[in-house]
Structure formats: C-alpha cells, structure tokens
Amino acid sequence: MIVFPAAAQVKTVTLHPLINDLVKKIGGEKVDNIDLIGETGDPHHFEPSAEQLRQTTGRQLYFLSGKGLESYLPSLRNIIKEPARIIEVGETLPTIEGGCATCDHEHEGHDDHAAHEEEHDDLADPHWWHSIENFRRAARVIEKELATTDAANAAFYKKSADEYVGKLEELERWVRREIATIPKNRRHLATAHDAFAYFCKDYGFTAYPVQGINREQLPDAKKLGSLIAELKKNQVAAIFPEKESNPKILTSLTKETGIKLGAALSADGTNSASYEEMVRNNVSAIVTGLKP
Ligand SMILES: [Zn+2]
C-alpha cells in the first residue's frame, strides 16, 4: 500500500520575495504556495501577468507587501474574487512617511525642505521589512491569516510563528551587538535607493539616499550638490551600492567626495535566500564599511 503524505491545507500565492520566505516559515508543510515574483523579481516593478494569475485560480490567500508598493493592487482586486482574499501584510504595521521622514537629516534652507516635502506628499515608505520588529509583527499577520483559513491547524501555525519570532529576536540581538561597534557619530547610511529609513530609525542612523523610493529617480544637479556637501560635512565613511540598483552616479559620488564604496546591500529582498540572510549580509556590510 502506498501512503501519500497529507495534502497541504491552504493554497496560497506570494507576490514579494520576503513574504514568500515568511509564508514558508510559518506555513511549512501545511501550505501549498505559488511564488509568483520569483527570487530575482523586483517588487517595485513586478506585476503578475494574466497567465500567471490564471494559474492561481482556486487559491485561497494572496500575500503581498502593501503600503502602496504594489501599484497593480486595484486591478488585482478586480480579478481575485471571494472567497479568495488578498492580504497586504504590511498594512497594519507602523509606517514611516516617504520623502522627508526617510531622510531625516536637516535640509539647508527651509524653502528647499518644503518643496521636498510637497514633492513626496504623504506617501508611505513601503520598505517596512527593514525593521525587524515589523517583520516579527508580519509573522503574526501570516499566522493569523493561515489560522483563520485553516482553523484545524491553528496550533501548528502558532508553534511555527513562535519559533520564527524567537529566531527574529535572536537576529535582532545580533544586529544590536554588531551596530554597537559603530560609534554614534559614524552612523550615516548613504545608499542607492531610499530603502533603509526603517533600519535607520531603529538603529539611530541618518539616511542619505541618492535615489528616490523606487530606484529610478535621480537627483538633479542642485540636489546632488547639496548631497555632496552634506556627505562631506558629516564625514560619511562609505557609500553603499545595491545588488539590484547601482547607478553610475554612486561611482561619480565616491570620486567626487573621496568616500569609499561599501559592499552591496540588498534593499528589497531580491536575490536573498531568506530574510535572515538579507539582514545578516546588510548589517555585516554596514559594520565593515562604517567601523573605525
Ligand atoms: Zn525598494
């Protein structure tokens, strides 16, 4: 007699690489997931195709990041019908506003500041995952949604969420120990796109993003001039490129300022084997680049 393993209880779909990791961690064998974005997908620009969505017919839960990251969400809501549900995992997590709140260094001249703020309006910064506390809360969001859909296995989801949250707490202790080796006056994080505001807030860094929230915006000559002045004034020790967004402007910035180029960071979870791996790589790169 052939004994088949028990079929997974919940059929899910994930649309963000880090949430894909989270659903695997919490759902384990009880969840049969289709990861639509894939390891190399850029969550700022990914959009599921009609064919991909057809392949998900009959799935119960669609997990995405939220906070405005997925511009296709309104059209997805038209396609995905009840009883299937779309879960914006980041929706209930604390928000940092885009624009000025994400670069909380002082702007020279108040007019500039006001214009800068207006430009961004009150957009949420979607990169909530760079706060480990947010990621812990996200684990509970996934646990709750899976348990609601599959009440018979609620205890299973709770146990795996408890275990994973414990791992995240351990990860955060490691991050704090590592960051403690960077003197406070050296906690300046200059990066490619504006993705690390949540990290900067949690660990007392000032953010100097060269690009905007979405990877493609580049500063004009005037903004670039004031950015260079600020980097020099604050004796910023390194400028960090990204695995996925590495504009030529970073190289010219390092030439112009004499500031060294750090190791590449991962901003959006693309090409990271797991959330934990992304955090460990980023923190190691930052510590190596900024430690005296
Ligand atoms: Zn990003």
- Note the CATH number of domain 99-126+181-290: 3.40.50.1980
99-126+181-290 matches 10-94+131-170 in CATH topology: yes
User: 150: CA distance to ligand 1 center in Å?
Assistant: 32
**Proportion of the chain in helix, strand, coil states, percent, rounded to 5:** 50, 10, 40
- Note the pTM of the prediction, 2 decimals: 0.89
Residue type, 240: F
Q: How far is CA 185 from CA 174, 254, 258, 291, in A?
A: 21, 20, 19, 11
User: 110: CA distance to ligand 1 center in Å?
Assistant: 28
Q: What is the pLDDT along the chain (292 residues), one digit of tens a residue?
A: 666 656 778 999 999 999 999 999 999 999 999 999 999 999 999 999 999 999 999 999 999 999 999 999 999 999 999 999 999 999 999 999 985 433 433 333 334 444 444 444 468 999 999 999 999 999 999 999 999 999 999 999 999 999 999 999 999 999 999 999 999 999 999 999 899 999 999 999 999 999 888 776 778 888 889 999 999 999 999 999 998 777 788 888 899 899 999 999 999 999 999 999 999 999 999 999 999 9
d(CA 12, CA 8): 10
Domain boundaries, the chain: 10-94+131-170, 99-126+181-290
Count of residues for the chain? 292
Q: How far is CA 10 from CA 54, 85, 141, in A?
A: 18, 12, 15
User: 20: CA distance to ligand 1 center in Å?
Assistant: 16
User: 44: CA distance to ligand 1 center in Å?
Assistant: 6
- Note the CATH number of domain 10-94+131-170: 3.40.50.1980
Up-side HSE of residue 194: CA atoms within 13 Å toward CB?
25
d(CA 186, CA 196): 16
